[in-house]
Amino acid sequence: MATIKATCPMCGDVDLTPRQVRVRVTEAIRESDSHSSYVFGCPQCRVDVEKPADEEVVRLLSSAGVRIERIAVPAEAREIHDGRPIGYDDLLDLVLFLETHDAISEDVALASGR
Ligand SMILES: [Zn+2]
């Protein structure tokens, strides 16, 4: 089994097995914003460490048997949105609106001609 050498910010160099390391590949909305990292729990101090990984590091860790975790951004996140973000006041307005749900059914009835 391959031994992977990594550096813990607290303990310095540590030896890991491929099962102790994970690679995360996150697809961002724009290709240039995508990023990859590798994550391990330090066997000495137990701190979780995450470090950036370029394509070469991802390829090397993958060939050593490290599990690749791909995080895909859903298609909806790639849509372009206009307008300001929904705020706390908007949610309160929605709650107040829904409390008068009878008005909605009346509106639907009027719209459908009933
Ligand atoms: Zn450590």
Tell the residue number behind the tokens 């089994």, with chain if given: 1
Position 114 scores a pLDDT of: 62
111 burial (CB, 10 Å; 0-12 / 13-18 / 19+) is: exposed
Among candidate residues 14, 9, 8, 16, the one with its CA nearest the CA of residue 64: 16
Q: What percent of the chain has pLDDT over 70?
A: 94
The average pLDDT across 34-54 equals: 95
pTM of the model: 0.62
41 Cα–ligand 1 center, Å? 8
4 CA from centroid of ligand 1 (Å):
15
Cα 50 to ligand 1 centroid, rounded to whole Å: 12
Cα(46) to ligand 1 centroid in Å equals 6
- Give the residue-averaged pLDDT of 13-23: 97
The rounded mean pLDDT for the chain is: 88
pLDDT the model gives residue 106: 73
pLDDT over 90 at 72, yes or no = no
How far, in Å, is the centroid of ligand 1 from the Cα of 95?
Answer: 48
Number of continuous H segments (helices) and E segments (strands) in the chain: 3, 6
